[in-house]
């Protein structure tokens, strides 16, 4: 369910998350209103506002911990894409110093790889499908071309070595971005956020027992804050998957136009 929600457009995520948070608050408020007519109503009145501080602090720490990881993954995602594009760009530059036949063959295979990423690899990654087992088109052939080259000059030998290292960099960057695309906030972590949110809402309601309007306003404010944080986490949680904020291979598209 969570993965399905994170795969939706940002507006859909916002509407569903806010609706869920407000519904949870409404259910707790209605439940407390019903309990106010029961014999345990007197026990609810003794709840002190001091309970809100540790609960809100624990919820804040959990959200901050997850936000730190999500933001770190987002930075890594941009870094891996830039690393992949940089490696391809280096191969294109170095190939110009190699014999014309090798240069032409290398550029052709790099073009095959860029088309593979655009048409096969990236769409599969957005769908969350396993991509590490699939051999990327173009790069193995490019490596074979380089390794079969017999350098005639010291400069060609250096260029060959640098080009091979650049292709290895591209393969490593691709592997890291695919692994990162599988890193998500787990279901137990979302459940912890929901449970803590419900506990804080329950405490707010009991602190303002008998004052339904005051309780409703405070629960609405808190639910809005929690929903905003959850939306922010969800739309940034999977930068290499469909839904929310998605990183596109723009840097690779630019190389294909060269």
Res. 255 pLDDT band, cuts 50 70 90: low
Read off the pTM.
0.80
- Tell me the mean pLDDT in the region 27-38: 79
- Predicted local distance difference test score (pLDDT) of residue 225: 95
Alpha-carbon gap, residue 203 to 49, rounded angstroms:
8
What are 31's two structure tokens? 């439940």
Radius of gyration of the chain (CA): 27
Per residue in 173-194, pLDDT (tens digit) is 888 888 888 888 888 999 999 9
Q: How far is CA 83 from CA 38, 80, 117, 167, 175, in A?
A: 64, 5, 15, 11, 11
Contact 110, 256 (CB under 8 A): no
Put residue 138 in one of left, alpha, beta given phi > 0 → left and psi -120 to 50 → alpha.
left
Alpha-carbon gap, residue 34 to 212, rounded angstroms:
11
Q: Which domain does 101 fall in, by range?
A: 2-256
Select the more confidently predicted residue: 184 or 48.
184
> Rounded to 5 degrees, what are φ and ψ at 217?
-65, -45
Only one residue has tokens 């959990």, namely 62
Domains in the chain: how many in total? 1
Per residue in 60-114, pLDDT (tens digit) is 999 999 999 998 988 898 899 888 888 888 888 888 888 888 888 888 888 888 8
Lowest mean pLDDT among 3-12, 13-22, 29-38, 181-190: 29-38
């Amino acid at each position: 369910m969570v993965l399905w929600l994170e795969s939706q457009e940002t507006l859909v995520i916002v509407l569903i998350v806010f609706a869920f948070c407000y519904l949870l608050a409404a259910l707790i408020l209605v439940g407390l209103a019903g309990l106010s007519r029961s014999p345990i109503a007197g026990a609810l009145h003794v709840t002190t506002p001091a309970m809100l501080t540790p609960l809100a602090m624990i919820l804040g720490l959990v959200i901050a911990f997850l936000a730190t990881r999500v933001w770190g993954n987002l930075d890594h995602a941009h870094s891996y894409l830039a690393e992949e594009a940089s490696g391809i760009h280096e191969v294109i530059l170095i190939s110009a110093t190699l014999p014309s036949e090798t240069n032409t063959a290398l550029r052709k295979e790099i073009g095959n790889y860029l088309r593979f990423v655009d048409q096969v690899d990236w769409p599969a990654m957005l769908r969350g499908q396993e991509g590490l087992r699939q051999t990327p088109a173009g790069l193995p052939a490019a490596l074979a071309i380089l390794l079969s080259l017999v350098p005639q000059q010291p400069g060609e030998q250096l260029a060959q070595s640098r080009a091979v290292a650049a292709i290895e960099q591209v393969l490593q960057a691709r592997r890291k971005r695919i692994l990162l695309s599988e890193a998500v906030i787990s279901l137990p972590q979302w459940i912890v956020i929901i449970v803590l949110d419900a506990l804080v809402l329950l405490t707010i309601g009991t602190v303002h027992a008998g004052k339904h309007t005051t309780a409703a306003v405070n629960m609405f404010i808190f639910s809005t804050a929690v929903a905003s944080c959850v939306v922010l986490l969800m739309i940034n949680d999977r930068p290499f998957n469909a839904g929310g904020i998605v990183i596109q291979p723009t840097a690779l598209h630019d190389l294909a136009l060269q």
